[in-house]
Structure 1
Amino acid sequence: MGSFSIWHWLIVLVVVLLLFGRGKIPELMGDMAKGIKSFKKGMSDEDEDTTKTVEHQADEPIKDAAKPSKKKAG
């Protein structure tokens, strides 16, 4: 009772074909594939933007950190 027989799957397939029609299923799959491709492209574009790093030399002193701040308390 836990698994479906081949007849159950055939009936489900016929009902799906009647509801959506023969041409609608490939169209839906094509739209879904376009959406997945667009999502992947968007994720890769985001990764390229966030992976930009600033290169620096370890031997260079940091100029701004050595200066004392000139804030007046008041």
Structure 2
Amino acid sequence: MFINAYISILSILHQAPQEIPKESDSEPVDFTDFDNILIYIIIPILIFILYFAWRQMKKRERDRRNRH
């Protein structure tokens, strides 16, 4: 009985996936690298600006259609 419980506990512990990153493996983002600056700062700002420009363009087009 005790051996069965011990074996089942060991099998559960050994089934933990190895591919999942752990908190101890992570490092802070290095903003001295241009790639990180591009990915985490520049691209999100460009997406934000382009989204609001697209909304303004759609609003102007809608207003122009409603006037005519």
TM-score, normalised by the number of residues in structure 2: 0.47
Q: As a proportion of its length, which structure holds more helix?
A: 2
Higher relative contact order (CA 8 A, sep 6+): 2
TM-score, normalised by the number of residues in structure 1: 0.44
